[in-house]
Amino acid sequence: MELTYSYVIRWIFIVICVQLRATSLTYADDGIERGVSLSKLITKVQLTQKGYIQFLRYTENVPFLTEYTFCIWMKSYNLTYSHPILSYSKHEEERLIRVWISPHGKAINLEIHGIPVFRIPTKFKEHQWYHICQSWSSETGSWEVFVNKMKFHGHVPKLSGIGIKEGGDIVIGQEYTDFDKGLDDGIEGDIFGFNFVLSSTSSRLPKTIYKPSMKHYVSPTRIIRVPKFESGFIPMKNKNNRRLPRIIVDESNSSPKTKLIKKRENKSYGRGGHHSSSSFRHHPPRARRMRSVMHKSLGMKLVELSRNCALGKGAPLHGEKVLISWIKTTVRVFGGAIVKHVKPFC
């Protein structure tokens, strides 16, 4: 009888241990952090630019753009070369939007239709996470950039009233029109939480926007060599590394004469956008932050909500004007980029 009782207790203990193990992730070698429940993890993508040029390419049908805002988290392991954050181009040759970080992290840059919009001096450091957002409105040719909690903004009169063509390719991590230059480029590090919405951070109503037709907006035709290796966006480590040279973006030295304003944002807002320390004093801090952004444009909501990297697992917004969502939108991963599940880092 004692033997039977001991046998039953032993099996109960084994079953409990198996159930506990099933609720915990232990596959660190497969891109999953050890000992953490999957429901508490977020998904990041690691680009090494080793074995092949690596980037993400979204397959969404991009409409004619009159305004947009995108946000992304990025951590670089090597800032020696240019880091293309966003490349939006058509037919792999016509540059429409180009956002990149200069070598050694010394500046963040934007070009629209090949025209320099801004070059902001920065001091990006390796092995640190940065929350980067950029917004554009064709109504006035105005732009805003957010790096962590720092804000910069200005405008380019020559681009006022000119929209951005539809039907292009959105690429993260590489300049999609520069694969034939034979130089070094590409994000070497981790990216997370890329979201793109059809709204600027300004709440102004759009006026008439004209489609661009000027010939000088079109880049000269090049022969493009796009990597043919493609892997799905799946939660597992890619083990097929191949050695090939890297390439770099050719950075423009020209700097537009735009008004540049640098300031810190208020941490909380009351009605009318004024700073307030007591508007939501009866609510928990998270509820205050959520309620404080509800009256703002979708672009500004994305900027403020995406600072919490755990919110929505990197995709804090959804709806008709959310063109790209980090966790919902189909994406193609080129060059064997590594997908990992990790704890929230912010």
Residue 120: inside a domain, yes or no?
yes
Helix (H) or strand (E) segment spanning residue 88: strand 83-90
The distance of Cα 70 from the centroid of its chain, to the nearest Å, equals 7
Predicted pLDDT of residue 291: 60
Which burial class, exposed, middle or buried, applies to 301 when counting CB atoms under 10 A from its CB (0-12, 13-18, 19+)?
Answer: buried
Expressed as residue numbers, the domain containing 210 is 40-342
Q: Is residue 70 part of a domain?
A: yes
Q: What is the pLDDT of residue 295?
A: 78
Residue 326 covered by a domain: yes
Phi, psi values for residue 46, rounded to 5°: -105, 125
Q: What is the pLDDT along the chain (346 residues), one digit of tens a residue?
A: 555 555 444 444 333 332 323 222 223 344 555 666 678 899 999 999 887 889 999 989 999 999 999 999 999 999 999 999 999 999 888 899 999 999 999 999 999 999 999 999 999 999 999 999 999 999 999 999 999 989 999 999 999 999 999 999 999 999 887 655 434 689 999 999 999 999 999 865 445 555 654 443 333 433 333 344 343 333 333 334 333 223 223 333 334 444 444 444 444 444 344 443 333 344 466 556 556 656 799 999 999 999 999 999 999 999 999 999 999 999 998 888 899 999 999 9
Count of domains forming the chain = 1
What CATH number is attached to the domain comprising 158? 2.60.120.200
DSSP label at 236? S
- Specify the 3-state DSSP secondary structure of 20: helix
Q: What is the largest CA-CA distance in the chain?
A: 92
In a domain, 7, yes or no: no
**β-sheet with 94-101: strand ranges across:** 115-121, 107-112, 94-101, 83-90, 169-172, 55-58, 331-334, 230-232
19 in a structural domain = no
Q: What angle do CA 167, 168, 171 make, to 5 degrees?
A: 145
Secondary structure of residue 302 in the 3-state scheme? helix
CA 346 – CA 343 distance, rounded (Å): 9
- As a whole number of angstroms, the distance between CA 229 and CA 243 comes to 13
Answer whether residue 284 is part of any domain.
yes
Query: Quick check: is 69 in a domain?
Result: yes
Rounded-to-integer distance, Cα 70 and Cα 98, Å: 12
Is residue 157, in this structure, part of any structural domain at all? yes
